[in-house]
Amino acid sequence: MAEDFSVPWAPGVRVLYGQAALATRVAELGSRITADYAGRALTVLCVLKGASLFTADLVRAIALPLRLEFLGVASYGSVEDIVDTGLTLRFLLQALVARGCRSVRTCALLDKPSRRVEAVTVDYTGFVVEDRFLVGYGLDHEERWRNLPFVGVLERSP
């Protein structure tokens, strides 16, 4: 799936999912969500910061009227980007249900089930990934490389 693409200002980052693969998968997720929510009210809640670029593309791929809201959640250290341990997602799901949400479904571009500590279900998954440190397309390493146009594996720290 990896495209032969890199940027000189991101040494040590190997492309995992390039722009074309991301665009295709986001369009597929948008189509599924459109079908599942046809005729229903939809509010999309983006968890900042890591999911912001993915969410921006995803809501444009959903052919329904919707509301877009943002939420910042502090997790462990400075990581808040990928469903891995499930701890942050479990916390969010419980908080949303406690606030009276009638239906909550989850969508993540990336899922690392090998790191799961809490049993959580991701209803719409872009890609299942191995336990590697990923950057780009909103994901960061120490607040850097969110703006890479691909998801890459950080193979070495600069």
Report the candidate in 115, 102, 89, 99 with the shortest Cα–Cα distance to residue 37.
102
Within a domain: residue 97? yes
Burial of residue 142, with CB atoms counted within 10 A of its CB: 0-12 exposed, 13-18 middle, 19 or more buried? exposed
Could you list the pLDDT tens digit for every one of the 158 residues in the chain? 445 566 777 778 999 999 999 999 999 999 999 999 999 989 999 998 989 999 999 999 999 999 999 988 765 444 645 788 888 889 999 999 999 988 899 999 999 999 888 889 899 999 999 999 999 999 998 888 999 999 999 987 55
Residues annotated as part of the active site: 84
Domain span at residue 20 reads 13-154
Q: How many domains does the chain have?
A: 1
Within a domain: residue 36? yes
Within a domain: residue 115? yes
